[in-house]
Structure 1
Amino acid sequence: MIRVVLPAHLRALAGVDGEVEVAGTTIATVLDGLEARLPVLRGTIRDRRTGRRRAFVRFYACAEDLSHEPVDAPLPGPVVAGAEPFMVVGAMAGG
């Protein structure tokens, strides 16, 4: 199982505390599992119509930014093994 860490505002929206575990081996399958388990998150991480990552959302795993990786690329081994989390992070903007 993949350990997913969500930002505080999405945890509050979904009514979860701490990490969420879902099955998957790619960004796409993890997000599919997350949205299936927590339907209230549909449209918050990726656009409902296009399925593309929202502009101010980033994905990190094993100290790497995976935000611009293909969604069907395999996740790093430690993430798939459950040793490291897959993190969904709200990007900061402003000046």
Structure 2
Amino acid sequence: MKSTESILNDDHFKLLAFLITSARGCVGEPPLYGPLRLVDAAARLVEIMKKEGKAIPEIIELQKLIEEKKDLVMYDEEEFIKFLDDLSKKLAEIIKKQ
């Protein structure tokens, strides 16, 4: 990439910017917003993986689960934590299969 304009359109750079600004945002936010931002970043990473042809169906399913359940943090913290546990288990299953 040669120009600043092209870097701003790069999906990797967009994720980097999201992570850095999220880190700063977490300083003053409620504690569970950190995990919310991390799973949001995970979903964004899966999107990049899809574009690059690197996302297997099981990973795409993780992304769908994140999109469906990440808002739980706003109204049911206990269920949000259970969702994070479930997401971690599903990731472990993917790892075991490889």
TM over 0.5, yes or no?
Answer: no
* TM superposition score normalised by structure 1: 0.27
Higher relative contact order (CA 8 A, sep 6+): 1
Q: Name the one with the larger strand percent.
A: 1
* TM superposition score normalised by structure 2: 0.27
Q: Name the one with the larger helix percent.
A: 2
